[in-house]
DNA sequence: CCTTCAGGTTAACGAGCGCTAACCCCCCTG
DNA sequence: CAGGGGGGTTAGCGCTCGTTAACCTGAAGG
């Protein structure tokens, strides 16, 4: 099943560099010439791979939202019938942390540049995000049945804020090690949920 | 002591509208003409009040960082000797939540547009932010003496992420009421800290 | 009553942007 | 060996942006 150990295609290079630049300086703050330069070609050469700058952002944001949602669905399915909802919640948290730690530019773009999208693309991203949130809300309310739905939704958004804070934790070197950071974030997320769920 | 029930000056109007627009569409996504239109004057009229667009952003960001820091210092001083560190931590959390709920555009700008500043201004903001974080870290480690400093700093940043998530909680109408939201955020913050401090 | 000045106006400039046009070159295939 | 297309190049267009210049106006002060 050729699990893509291949060299990255030019398209993928472009997307990766564009994500980094957009995250660093904002969508409007980056010119196509810079994106081109980052992959070794110059400016208008990008238009052989994308119809425009907007399309790069759209593909990035849809890709992120989709892969978060897909990952969560898979984790929910893998849990099966016997495992408790607490295990699923932990799995959700773990997946989100992996994403936040491994794809920091994408996590940044995800809640920062959404409004720069064309209407149709933005609707698509919003819908994927909403589904993702609903999965979390469902599992959270299984773990804490006393939790009302609006409170659960707010709690989920807040924990996303907590988990997505990794870009602010200093440059990748200053972190106390990936595993340690992941564990810290995980415990804080569970603690935050517990504080609002057990009452 | 004339607590400023006066009408807002033109400068203040401009800053407020600029903050809203920058938060909505990003610094580079807003033109000076739009900012002018938002306060009823047109484009270049702004230059009677500010030397340039950058200066507006700089004044906003420095103002935010300074008032967060000043507020925290005041709360620390007010606590006096007898009150425990837990009370101070609660006071910090409460102050930050007030800010996040009442000045949502500013909180958004605060961690989103910092890199658009001139070097000198950015350094100033960073220094204020660092001092603010250090106050939190100090109090947090008094509450949880077992907590190592790097972990404490990460925890503080993460809780900022949690508290600053309010802009994502839907438009001001859909929130379950300010007091309820504030209480929810407060409990989650304490829960997150507790989960990493008690061990 | 004349002056001054704060706080506006419109016109216009220069730079930078996203994007298109026109061209080129190499590699692959029949 | 012809030719065709994928993937580049540079030149340049049209637009928008931040900023400046030049001008105007109404109210306050001597």
CA distances from A84 to A40, A88, A134 (A): 50, 7, 18
Task: Report percent pLDDT > 90 for chain A.
Answer: 86
Chain C: nucleotides under 7 Å from a protein CB?
A: 6-12, 16-22
Residues B4, B85 within the same domain: no
Residue A18 has pLDDT above 70, yes or no: yes
Asked if B165 contacts A157 with a C-beta cutoff of 8 angstroms, the reply is yes
Q: Which residues of B touch A28 (CB under 8 A)?
A: 26, 28-29
On whether any CB of chain A is under 8 Å from the CB of B62, the answer is: no
**What is the sign, positive or negative, of the torsion defined by CA atoms of B69, B75, B80, B83?**
negative
The pLDDT tens digits of the residues spanning A76-132 come to: 999 877 789 999 999 999 999 999 999 999 999 998 999 999 999 999 999 999 999
Residues A146, A180 within the same domain: yes
Per-residue pLDDT of chain B (199 residues; tens, 9 = 90+): 444 556 789 999 999 999 999 999 999 999 999 999 999 999 999 999 999 999 999 999 999 999 999 999 999 999 877 789 999 999 999 999 999 999 999 999 998 999 999 999 999 999 999 999 999 999 999 999 999 999 999 999 999 999 999 988 877 667 779 999 999 999 999 999 999 998 7
pLDDT of residue B80: 77
Residues A7, A22 within the same domain: yes
End-to-end CA distance of chain B: 49
Residue A87, number of CB atoms within 10 A of its CB: 15
The pLDDT tens digits of the residues spanning A61-80 come to: 999 999 999 999 999 999 87
Rg, chain B, Cα only:
18
Count H helices and E strands in chain B, helices first: 8, 0
pLDDT of residue B173: 66
pTM higher than the cut 0.75: yes
Q: Please name which of B2, B8, B23 lies closest in space to residue B109, comparing C-alpha atoms.
A: B23
Residue A2 has pLDDT above 50, yes or no: no
Q: Please name which of A90, A114, A104 lies closest in space to residue A165, comparing C-alpha atoms.
A: A104
Contact assignment for B191 to A196 by CB distance below 8 Å: yes
Q: How confident is the model at residue A144 (pLDDT cuts 50, 70, 90)?
A: very high
- Rounded, the Å distance between the CA of B59 and C1' of C18 is 31
Residue A35 sits in a domain whose CATH number is 1.10.10.60
Rounded Cα distance, B59 and B48, in Å = 16
Residues B34, B78 within the same domain: no
Which residues constitute the domain of residue A31?
1-50
- Strand D at less than 7 A from CB of A7: no
Residue A5 has pLDDT above 70, yes or no: no
Q: Which residues of A touch B175 (CB under 8 A)?
A: 154
Residue B169 sits in a domain whose CATH number is 1.10.357.10
pLDDT of residue B169: 83
Q: Please name which of A54, A22, A23 lies closest in space to residue A118, comparing C-alpha atoms.
A: A54
Name A56's Cβ contacts closer than 8 Å, sequence gap at least 6. Answer: A14, A15, A18, A35, A46, A50
Residues A41, A68 within the same domain: no
Which nucleotide's C1' is closest to B13 (Cα)?
C7
Residues A19, A94 within the same domain: no
Asked if A197 contacts A190 with a C-beta cutoff of 8 angstroms, the reply is no
**A7/chain B closest Cα distance in angstroms:** 33
Residues B91, B186 within the same domain: yes
Residue A60: DSSP 8-state: H
Scanning the structure block, which residue is given the tokens 């593909």?
Answer: A59
Residues B93, B30 within the same domain: no
pLDDT of residue A1: 45
What's the length of chain A?
199
Residues A46, A67 within the same domain: no
Residues B102, B187 within the same domain: yes
Among residues A50, A73, A91, the one where a domain terminates is: A50
Query: Hey, what are B190's tokens?
Result: 């304490």
- Rounded, the Å distance between the CA of B44 and C1' of C10 is 10
**Helix (H), strand (E), coil (C) string for B129-194:** HHHHHHHHHHHHHHHCCCCCHHHHHHHHHHHHHHHCCHHHCCCCCCCCCHHHHHHHHHHHHHHHHH
Q: How many domains does chain A have?
A: 2
Residues B83, B142 within the same domain: yes
Residues A106, A155 within the same domain: yes
């Amino acid at each position: 099943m050729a699990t893509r150990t291949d060299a990255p295609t030019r398209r993928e290079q472009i997307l990766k560099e564009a994500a980094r630049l957009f995250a660093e300086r904002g969508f409007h703050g980056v010119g196509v010439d810079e994106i081109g330069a980052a992959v070794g070609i110059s400016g208008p050469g990008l238009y052989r791979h994308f119809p425009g700058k907007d399309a790069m952002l759209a593909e990035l944001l849809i890709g992120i939202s989709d892969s978060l949602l897909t990952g969560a669905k898979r984790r929910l399915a893998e849990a099966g019938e016997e495992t408790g909802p607490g295990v699923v919640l932990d799995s959700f948290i773990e997946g989100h942390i992996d994403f936040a730690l491994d794809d920091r530019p994408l996590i940044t773009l995800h809640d920062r540049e959404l409004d720069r999208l064309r209407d149709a693309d933005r609707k698509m991203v919003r819908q994927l995000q909403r589904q993702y949130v609903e999965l979390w809300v469902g599992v959270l309310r299984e773990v804490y049945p006393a939790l009302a739905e609006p409170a659960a939704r707010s709690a989920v958004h807040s924990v996303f804020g907590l988990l997505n804070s990794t870009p602010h934790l200093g440059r990748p070197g200053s972190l106390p090690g990936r595993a340690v950071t992941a564990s810290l974030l995980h415990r804080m997320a569970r603690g935050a949920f517990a504080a609002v769920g057990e009452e």
